[in-house]
Structure 1
Amino acid sequence: MAAPQSEAASQPSVPDYMKDPNAVLGDVDAEWRNTRPPDYSKTRVFYSETKRRKHEAGSLPELVENLVKNWEIEASFKTRLSDWRTIDHETFTFAVNDLKPCSAEHMLRVGTYNAIISPCKYYDPEHSDFAASHKTFKRMMPAFAWEVLEVHSGPPVVSFKWRHWGEMKNDYVGQNSNGEKVTVKAKGQLIDIEGVTVAHLNSEFQVTELKTWFDSNEMFRQMDPDGSAIKKTVG
């Protein structure tokens, strides 16, 4: 059962990044990748047109959703860790599927995709740096929306189920764990994955610890359901 909708909303000092999904895009003094804040307008439109949930304004699900969206913007596009407002710099860690937690510094170095995707026959983080990984997936799926489906507990330990989805508009081209080039042709496939996250927050609603569980291979199975891309791999 979801937590009461008004728990977090009743807090008097909820930060802007929990009220507005684009709050950190206004941080003009931050150091941004490509020298300026990214444009999320297409992703936000796609989200509003295809989301499953309509959260009540100020509700706990909406606040959690906004927090995570702003965290993703910072992790993907702010190049100076001191500019990240959504995390506790002293304690933040991130872990996927009970693997060893990584630090914010590690995520800043390798990128969000490389921090969450496990090596497989389609992709291997060891063969793709931050810039290459983002180019691979953002080119393939220009709008990759994210939403909270259910919230099961409120701060300071927030557990929630989420959905991440988009349309495969362009071909996927990556390098797998054998060092082979893999190409998957775009056919407008819908990529739709779900997972569960537990976020620990401090008294200022900054993230101190993120633990996420999901099957990263599910994205590749939906991209290439019959496995034909692997059979055509060229080294």
Structure 2
Amino acid sequence: MNGKPTRMFMDDPSIQWRNGKPDYSKADEVYLQGRTKHHEVGSLEEIVSNIIKTFEMEAQHKVRAEDFGIVTSDFKMNTNGGRYFTIPNLIERGTYNLFLDDSPLYDASKETRESSDNDFKTTFPDGFSWEVLEVIHGPPKLVFTWRHWATMTGPFKGNEPTGQLLEMYGCVTADVSPDNKLQCVHFYVDANPFISKLRNDRCPLMH
């Protein structure tokens, strides 16, 4: 299947998975149907996409820091210049809580990894897809833009589903090691319009 993502570091039998080795066949189908960019095989955009999709897989499904293969041992990340988080933080708190850490419309301090994962899986049962839009600068100082999207076919914290296609756009800057491992990642995004739509706010927060 042309353009199907490649996720690395999944085949070692000693890996400890959170809920078994993940199957991305459905997620990849949704991604291929909903993406807006078709990157050439072997292009920098495809390589960056596979690195980030591998990172997402590891952060979401692996439970031991030593099983992570796409990051360096001193890896750290933050969003919008906020506090830094490490792999143990990701394992404990989950990607949604760290990514939305300081959003005024999402209080991550009141969420557990399980509660946030369950909320977004309930709201987006068909998946929450992500794509690289444009790589502005290649490694070792990586800069690229991205798009996150999903259709709200399930409720979010008691708010009825709207059936809308919801999209979120942002930018990443990252330091990458010589062997293409993520060392430090900075996410930049305004998640408020996206969260506002999930909450069915009548007067969305404008930016």
| Aligned amino acid, residue 154 of structure 2 | N
The structure 1 residue matched to 2:27, chosen from 32, 43, 46, is 43
Q: SS of the counterpart of 1:56?
A: coil
Is 1:29 the counterpart of 2:14 in the alignment? yes
Partner of 1:212: 187
Normalised to the residue count of structure 1, the TM-score between the two structures is 0.79
CA distance 1:70–1:30, shift in 2 (3 Å): same
Q: SS of the counterpart of 1:166?
A: strand
Q: 121-130 or 110-119: which moved more?
A: 121-130
Alpha-carbon shift at residue 48 of structure 1 (Å): 0.5
**Identity, % of aligned pairs?**
31
CA distance 1:226–1:123, shift in 2 (3 Å): closer
- CA separation in 2, counterparts of 1:164 and 1:28? 31
The structure 2 residue matched to 1:105, chosen from 76, 88, 108, is 88
The structure 2 residue matched to 1:149, chosen from 119, 133, 137, is 133
Partner of 1:65: 49
- CA separation in 2, counterparts of 1:205 and 1:123? 33
Partner of 1:130: 113
8 Å Cα contact 1:163/1:195 also seen in 2: yes
- CA separation in 1, counterparts of 2:70 and 2:184? 11
8 Å Cα contact 2:100/2:191 also seen in 1: yes
Is 1:158 the counterpart of 2:133 in the alignment? no
- CA separation in 1, counterparts of 2:166 and 2:68? 29
Partner of 1:80: 64
The structure 2 residue matched to 1:193, chosen from 158, 164, 168, is 168
Q: Which has the larger radius of gyration?
A: 1
Deviations 1:105-134 (A, max 9, x none): 112111101101145565311211111111
Normalised to the residue count of structure 2, the TM-score between the two structures is 0.90
Aligned length: 200
| Aligned amino acid, residue 22 of structure 1 | R
- CA separation in 2, counterparts of 1:120 and 1:209? 21
Q: SS of the counterpart of 1:135?
A: helix
8 Å Cα contact 2:105/2:196 also seen in 1: no
- CA separation in 2, counterparts of 1:121 and 1:159? 26
Q: SS of the counterpart of 2:22?
A: coil
Partner of 2:198: 223
Unaligned residue ranges in structure 1 (runs of 5+): 1-18, 174-182, 229-235
Q: Which 4+ stretches in 1 moved above 6 angstroms?
A: none
| Aligned amino acid, residue 32 of structure 1 | W
8 Å Cα contact 1:189/1:223 also seen in 2: no
- CA separation in 1, counterparts of 2:143 and 2:38? 19
| Aligned amino acid, residue 132 of structure 2 | V
Unaligned residue ranges in structure 2 (runs of 5+): none
Q: SS of the counterpart of 2:71?
A: coil
Q: SS of the counterpart of 1:113?
A: helix
